[in-house]
Chains A and B, each alone.
Chain A
Amino acid sequence: MLFSVGLSLVVLLSVVGAATVERVEYDYYKYHPMPEITDWMVQAVKDYPEVVTILEYGQTYEKRTISLLKIGINTGEKKKAIWMDCGIHAREWIAPAFCQYFVREILQAYKTDPKMQAMMTNMDFYVTPVLNIDGYIHSWKDNTTRLWRKNRSPGPLNCTCYGTDLNRNFNANWGTLGISFECCDNTFCGIKPVSEPEAQAVTYFVGNRKEDFLCFLTIHSYGQLLLLPFGHPNFTASNYDELMKVGRGAADAIRSVHGKDYTVGTSPDVLYANSGSSRDWARMQGIPLTYTFELRDDGTFGFELPQDQIQPTCEEAYSGALHIITYAHDKTFSGATATAATLWSMLLALGVTGTTLM
């Protein structure tokens, strides 16, 4: 009896979802400038008010608000969480494109897929489409700025250049390897750990909830890699074997979509040693599954990935990310309790929104 009630609830919720589908088609397979991404975030909340909210959690150097989409079913309880950020490096345009695609996919899956409904019941997804907003806007300015990487804070005194490499600025072995102390360099790690407001925003938000996070995914390009902590060759994560196993599973999932090979390994093994990365910092907070995704391609187009590759890149990356997220979820929420949690939460949700459905 309970199961047929559950099924009817699913059908009802799907109908409600369908009635509020976006009226204007958003093209997920084109690169979008910052104002369009901001509008898209607002629209996502309008279209899925029961599961999507915008949280503002910091400011860039140029005083722009850094926001994320919090996506999950409101159960009234403290929930486990998944973190995803894109665009920490301005020129890696495919990354923000992927964050937007990821949000669209999980919202669509939530309407019809019991597994995604269970995951959204048990966890919240925190997705930041563009972290380095100032840098991203700068990379859209003209042809000479397209390959900008860092943020846009001015250099220290006597420096004629702008920008700190945000992915060298986190408090994780800061200032040791794979960095430069020259303020004009692209791996300039800042004057001190977490000197940059964008890095501070992530540090405070995630840091205040670190026990809740099962998974921290930070999205970059290019290189077709899945990087595990740590960036320092002398430090191995306590769950290295698990990280490799799950990473390889993700790479297999990626390959099954369009045949692209993504290499799995620590930064010092497969790319280069580095320090102060957000991924390393997250792992040091105790978040067990932390990965850096380096999306397409392997160097032919590099940062300027053609728009006709946005769709296949996003499809394969989604497969990989979902593999990691599903593993994190299933490890934490065993099967039987998940089903019960789903049904109970659906009943709760129906109780809360009952008046609007009638």
Chain B
Amino acid sequence: MATGELNPNHYQAQRAAKVVQHYLNTRYGSPYRLLGLHRVHSGNAEDVEDSGRKYQLEISVQEIISNMTEKCSAEVLFPSGGQQRSPQVQASCEELLKINTIAQEEALYQQYKMKPSLLSAQNLPDSYGHIDPDMKPFWHLCIVASSFIMLNESSENTLFNVAQVANITQLATENDQLKFDCHVLLHEMVSQEIIHWKLLFTWSPPEGVKVQQMEQLPHCHHCEKPPNTN
């Protein structure tokens, strides 16, 4: 295992930095704020006795909608031990919080809180990479909710991205929170597999995204009846 100073372009630092991206989206993500890893400037890894492996990173993070970038420092601990435990992340990128999204979030919230018909959308993006502009905030929301899963599932041997939101359906508003059911397809780079998850989550401007339930779907989409062989 690489220890000490890491090449920022190599996979060890890149995978750890992607975990920071997922963490930041769980903390700061919203329908109008979505973060992506822009660059890794430097990284360091060390073994921590009885704990796991700790990465220290200097990265740049970009807010996807405004294209604003910010440099952040972060620490990622991948726990050791038999149990599959989620990485622990410490990072702050407070400059990005200053991007003012309050008005847009409030407007979206009010619009969908009282809607007589509940939102339902499929295939975000579609096969051609297209997303209806009105649906983009919900694509962002599902990615933010998926970040909780991607954060939980990450290890030094994985790299997760959201491949597609297969379906997002609005459910009845609960305790002043908009509520959604989202079927998301995650792409895991190292295995090249597409993994299906179902999420139940809520959102409001003051509370942010809160995941209530998540469930991996045992999807055998590539399993088909073999042809009759003669």
Contact = CB atoms under 8 A, between A and B. Distances in A.
B91 to A, nearest CB: 18
A266 B87 CA distance: 27
A147 B10 contact: no
Given A147-B164, A261-B39, A155 B226 contact: yes
B192 A187 contact: yes
Interface string A126-152: 000000000000001001101111000
Contacts of B14: 270
Interface stretch (B45-53, B71-79, B203-211, B217-225): B217-225
B64 A186 contact: no
Contacts of B142: none
B36 interface: yes
A270 B11 contact: yes
Interface string A302-325: 111111010000000000000000
Contacts of A26: none
Nearest to A271: B11
A319 B207 CA distance: 47
A123 B172 CA distance: 65
A62 to B, nearest CB: 11
Interface residues of A, number: 41
B96 to A, nearest CB: 16
Interface stretch (A35-43, A157-165, A278-286): A157-165
Interface stretch (B102-110, B111-119, B121-129, B174-182): B121-129
Given A303-B187, A304-B127, A307-B129, A184 B164 contact: no
A333 to B, nearest CB: 33
A187 B222 CA distance: 13
B127 A143 contact: yes
**Which DSSP category, helix, strand, loop or mixed, fits chain A's interface?**
loop
Interface string B176-199: 000000000101011111100000
Interface in B41-63: none
Contacts of A181: none
A96 interface: no
Contacts of A269: 7, 9-11
Nearest to B39: A261
A160 B11 CA distance: 33
Interface in B1-32: 7, 9-11, 14, 18
A159 B226 contact: yes
B81 interface: no
B193 A185 contact: yes
Contacts of B64: 300
Contacts of B187: 147, 302-303
B128 A160 contact: no
Contacts of B220: 160-161, 184
B129 A185 contact: no
A230 B127 CA distance: 32
Contacts of A159: 226
B161 interface: yes
Contacts of B123: 143
Contact of B191 (A148, A187, A300, A301): A187
Contact of A299 (B9, B10, B36, B190): B36
Nearest to B187: A302
B227 interface: yes
Contacts of B144: none
Contacts of B130: 306-307
B163 interface: yes
B226 A160 contact: yes
B193 A144 contact: no
Given A149-B192, A299-B161, A305 B129 contact: yes
A184 B226 contact: no
Contact of A186 (B9, B127, B129, B191): B191
A339 B11 CA distance: 44
**Leading 5 A-B pairs by shortest Cβ distance:** A306-B129, A299-B161, A186-B192, A304-B129, A146-B127
6 contacts: A155-B226, A163-B222, A187-B191, A263-B9, A270-B10, A306-B125
Given A185-B191, A306-B128, 18 more contacts: A30-B128, A143-B166, A147-B185, A147-B187, A161-B223, A163-B222, A186-B191, A261-B39, A269-B7, A269-B10, A270-B9, A270-B11, A272-B189, A298-B36, A300-B161, A302-B187, A304-B126, A305-B129
